[in-house]
Amino acid sequence: MSIAAFFDTVGGILSLDPDVILRVQTAPNGLAVAIVILLLATVSDVLGDSPILFMNRMPPGRLVAAMGIETVLSLVRLAIWMGGVALLALAVNHGNLTPANVVLVVGIGYAPMLLSFLVVIPTVGPFLRRLLIAWTLVTITASIAVASSASPWQVLAAPAVATLVILVVYRFSDRISVLLLGGLSRRFVGVDVMQRTRAMDPLLVLAVSRREA
């Protein structure tokens, strides 16, 4: 798939075009497309969260290394989440839902997070992040709806239940991820990159400046 074709596909997913979503899900390279989306979205998310590394006053080389480590840890975080969903699916013996299917369906739905580097935009960034998360939930739901290709009632109900399950698993798995990977991150990077860049306390900035002066 060419770069132009890839971005056309992403455009179709973002606009919730069921034909595009189905085409990716049934294409021989569909899983590869989903994995590329997950990888690029993770890199984009790491870029969007990069201010936390600057705030911790890292030198350039260490910052690049930290971003690399953060990308790996974020992918592990995603894997834990999708692994949780796959395990749950296996537990309830949901027919054809294999781990590869989970990656395919969730990966396609993860497309809005390709834009998550925009979270660095001042003032509106945090709002954009919420918007992207909401958009991701909608695309994941759409992806599940297309994958299930069930009756009209199921098209509405099954994806909604599945999305709810994914969200519940995400909340649970993410706590474990933050706990485990946060410790690793502090060890390797010196900063817990599993946390989002949050508001800086001006008194902390003042204290750091005074200490350095």
Of the pair 67, 78, the CB lying nearest another protein is at 67
Residues 181, 52, 72: CA angle, nearest 5 degrees? 35
CB of 206 to another protein, least distance (A): 6
Q: 121 in the Ramachandran plot: left (φ > 0), alpha (ψ -120 to 50) or beta?
A: beta
Own/partner contacts of 37-42, CB < 8 Å, gap of 24 or more, are 37/10, 37/107, 37/108, 37/110, 37/111, 37/114, 38/75, 38/78, 38/103, 38/106, 38/107, 38/110, 39/75, 40/114, 41/110, 41/111, 41/113, 41/114, 41/116, 42/71, 42/74, 42/75, 42/78, 42/113
CB of 66 to another protein, least distance (A): 12
CB of 121 to another protein, least distance (A): 5
Of the pair 175, 198, the CB lying nearest another protein is at 198
Of the pair 19, 201, the CB lying nearest another protein is at 201
Give the amino acid at 175: R
Positions touching another protein (CB under 8 A) are 51, 54-55, 57-60, 63, 117-118, 120-126, 197-202, 204-206, 209
CB of 103 to another protein, least distance (A): 29
CB of 7 to another protein, least distance (A): 15
Of the pair 15, 123, the CB lying nearest another protein is at 123
Of the pair 78, 194, the CB lying nearest another protein is at 194
Residues 165, 41, 180: CA angle, nearest 5 degrees? 60
